Structure 1
Amino acid sequence: MSDPLLSLRDVRKTFRTHGTTQVVLDGIDLDVAEHQCVVLIGASGSGKSTLLRAVDLLDDVDDGQILLGGLDIADPWVDADEVRARLALVFQQYNLFPHLRVLDNLTLAPRHVHGRRRADAEADALAMLEKVGLEHKARAYPDQLSGGEQQRAAIARALVGNPDLLLLDEVTSALDPALVGEVLDLLTALRDEGTTMLIATHEMGFARDVAHEVVFLHEGRIHERGTPAEVLDHPQRPETQEFLRRIR
């Protein structure tokens, strides 16, 4: 069996503010294999977002290893820009530049960071917009799109760089309930295509449908992991049982 694309080993993170200390990640061990979809669940403050931000090098960790293709990207000597070229993180908020058309949002990084020619970058961006069902919105501005369309555009922007790993942080939480389905349908299609994803979500039905593995975080620790049926239908830990009871 090949090594996982992503491995976290004893990852620890503490926030210190106003004289208080909060342990946010407390010895996280986690593997994500290539073409696998791993879904993180847990209450607000359980460490899901911090874990994703640590993988994307937005938050430094205090201890432990984060191995991407065998390279410890938590090492402070690692070139963060090179690492981020292999990753893409999509947030709750769409973070599209409001003064740029959708097409320009997608081509900004390929042109100005990676040196792609405009014609080539736009061809790739248009192909990605077609993939997410937004080719007809390529020349619209973000405020001319619905929330679901903006989130799909943000996912398209993340994918246009062909990342090894797609990280998604509660990407439906800012959406009107009527718009959630179109984003989840897109993520389901990406999963079926073999996109490697690490997803934090509060959508248990989505977790059940798309996850190869569900990981329950509580107070910065992994308390339970397994298939969707194992974790969501037959949870073993009392913390998992209580969490699922509350959200249902």
Structure 2
Amino acid sequence: MTDAASLLSVSGLRKSYGDRVVLDDVSLSVEPHEVVCLIGSSGSGKSTLLRCLNLLEEIDDGVISFDGREISDPRVDARAVRSRIGMVFQAYNLFPHLTVLDNCTLAPRRVHGVRKADAEARALELLSRFGLEEHATKHPDRLSGGQQQRAALVRAMCTSPTLLLLDEITAALDPELVGEVLSIVRAEAAAGTTMVIATHEMAFARDVATQVCFLHEGRILEQGPPAQIFSSPREERTRQFLARVLPPA
């Protein structure tokens, strides 16, 4: 289902790599302040969908609209679109040669034309909120995995994005670090940040999502509110997936 009034609307999206179809007729709408969690097995298309939404991958067919404008048109300035969409990757993707503070202020200064002093003040405010202010002058390799992922979240938020895309941001973390990162995302969800999140953390999805989409073999096989998806899934494939990943009742 798509809605022209939605913040993000995807209709009939198709993406292939050669003969391999990765996304097939995907349609989705995201309202302002909504948190949509994408769940499904590895290889189901979750990460590719996020990359398509951020115009990091060209689509083969379909339409992606953002804030009332079609952005899947090849003539669209992808950099301008990405300046309003924050994305956090599984592997952090922080620039290793820059300090944490410089990582966080680069886009505001270079892309949005924010003065250095203002960009640094905003970054330090967020770093402080995320417990990272004392690490501002360090390079990423001096931080733990959890700290690097929190720094990546701060970097994405420093531009005050209209939409935040999170791609399996806890997958590369040790189990004891997962909670600290998810607590930050929970706080942002509670603050009304619009997010689309690919995740393997089912309890997290159940807690924070307003809508859950189960992807299977490149299709959104089932979508709905968390209570429906986790308690009364309609599709047999959804039930099989949840039976594998949820702890016994």
Normalised to the residue count of structure 1, the TM-score between the two structures is 0.95
In structure 1, list runs of 5 or more residues that go unmatched: none
**What is the match of residue 241 of structure 2?**
243
Describe how 1:43-192 pairs up with structure 2 within 5 A. Answer: 43-192=41-190
**What is the match of residue 226 of structure 2?**
228
Distance 1:161 1:114 in 2: 8
Percent of residue pairs identical: 58
CA RMSD of aligned residues (A): 1.3
Q: Give the CA deviation at 1:99.
A: 2.0
Distance 1:117 1:69 in 2: 27
Distance 2:103 2:197 in 1: 23
Secondary structure of 1:171's match? coil
The one of 205, 213, 216 aligned to 1:218 = 216
Amino acid at match of 2:5: D
List structure 1 runs of 4+ shifted beyond 3 angstroms: none
Distance 1:237 1:7 in 2: 24
Residues 88, 166 of structure 2: 8 Å contact kept: yes
**What is the match of residue 15 of structure 1?**
17
Distance 1:106 1:81 in 2: 17
**What is the match of residue 5 of structure 1?**
7
Distance 2:107 2:224 in 1: 37
In structure 2, list runs of 5 or more residues that go unmatched: none
Show CA shifts across 1:49-82 (max 9, x none): 1100000000010111101011110000111111
Q: Give the CA deviation at 1:120.
A: 1.4
Distance 1:15 1:97 in 2: 28
- Number of aligned residues: 244
Distance 1:194 1:110 in 2: 21
Q: Give the CA deviation at 1:2.
A: 8.7
Q: Give the CA deviation at 1:96.
A: 1.1
Residues 9, 64 of structure 2: 8 Å contact kept: yes
